[in-house]
Amino acid sequence: MLTAKGRLAGVIGWPVGHSRSPQLHGHWLARYGIDGAYVPMAVAPERLEAALRGLAALGFRGCNVTVPHKEAAMALVDELDPLARRIAAVNTILVREDGRLFGTNTDGFGFLANLQAGAPGWSAGRGPAVVIGAGGAARAVIVALADAGAPEIRLANRTRSRAETLAAELGGPITVIDWADRVAALSGAALLVNTTTEGMVGRPALDLALDALPADALVNDIVYVPLETPLLAAAKARGNPVVDGVGMLLHQARPGFEAWFGVSPVVDAALRAAVLGA
């Protein structure tokens, strides 16, 4: 039950009805018996600054930020985590005791934690990683892989110039691959990650034959609707270990929840069921 002393947090987006964060955080609040609430807040782009500045006055400990506000929020917080600056997006905001806003990004943390939980013993240093796509999600994935010690990150995107821009901005062990060479780029890879929306419900499957991919390479798709995308189904059929995308969503929420509500939450089967059933 929420009392007048309860802790408040939420998610800001436009629209925000699609977000599964309220179910995710609501599950944890109930599980740990916390006096608090996590609420969805639909905020139009032109009102984002006013909404963020109002968090402290309303007693909020912070919030998540989702589309289309992740980039705009960078310029509106008072303090920006260097990691969020590199990823060029904010997805988590903490309200300091003095009301100042601290912005960070937990997507890379969620990505790595998901792989480590879904494939125990996996490490980024095992070998080259192939990343498909050069959007915002790819930035978080590439930064996380580079920081975790990936020796090479092969980046393939339909529009090569976009991949080249991303590689130039991020630096590190990134090799840009022509879209026509994406299949050959799988040779010798230890990890394959799809960061595009291809394979999502209503979208065509990712156009990528896996013939050259080593049988022990880990395959991950950040899409989680459906939970088993055509890419994961094809990888599983040929014997590759696979990790679905919902765990990235679940794990990226952990740092924010701990900061706002004072409990380090657990990601488990019950949480997955609560979020997937939303």
159 CB-near residues (< 8 Å, 6+ apart): 134
5 is catalytic: no
**Would the annotation count 134 as a binding residue?**
yes
**Would the annotation count 161 as a binding residue?**
yes
Q: What is the CA radius of gyration of the chain?
A: 19
CB 102 within 8 A of CB 81: yes
Token couple for 193 = 């990650």
**Would the annotation count 107 as a binding residue?**
yes
CB 63 within 8 A of CB 10: yes
Q: Which of 69, 70, 139, 251 is catalytic?
A: 70
**Would the annotation count 21 as a binding residue?**
yes
Q: Is 243 helix (H, G, I), strand (E, B) or coil?
A: strand
**Would the annotation count 110 as a binding residue?**
no
**Would the annotation count 133 as a binding residue?**
yes
**Would the annotation count 64 as a binding residue?**
no
Contacts 24+ apart (CB under 8 A), 122-126: 122/191, 122/218, 123/148, 123/149, 124/148, 124/149, 124/150, 124/191, 125/149, 125/150, 125/151, 126/190, 126/191
**Would the annotation count 159 as a binding residue?**
yes
154 CB-near residues (< 8 Å, 6+ apart): 128, 129, 130, 131, 175, 177, 185, 189
**Would the annotation count 160 as a binding residue?**
yes
Cα(104)–Cα(87) distance, integer angstroms = 10
**Would the annotation count 252 as a binding residue?**
yes
**Would the annotation count 238 as a binding residue?**
no
Token couple for 120 = 């125990």
- Hey, which bits of the chain come out as E strands? 7-13, 36-42, 60-65, 79-80, 92-95, 101-104, 129-132, 153-156, 174-177, 191-194, 218-221, 242-243
Residues in binding site: 19-21, 66, 91, 107, 133-137, 157-162, 222, 224, 245, 252
Please give the positions annotated as active site.
70
Residues in binding site for NADP(+): 133-137, 157-162, 222, 245
Residues in binding site for shikimate: 19-21, 66, 91, 107, 224, 252
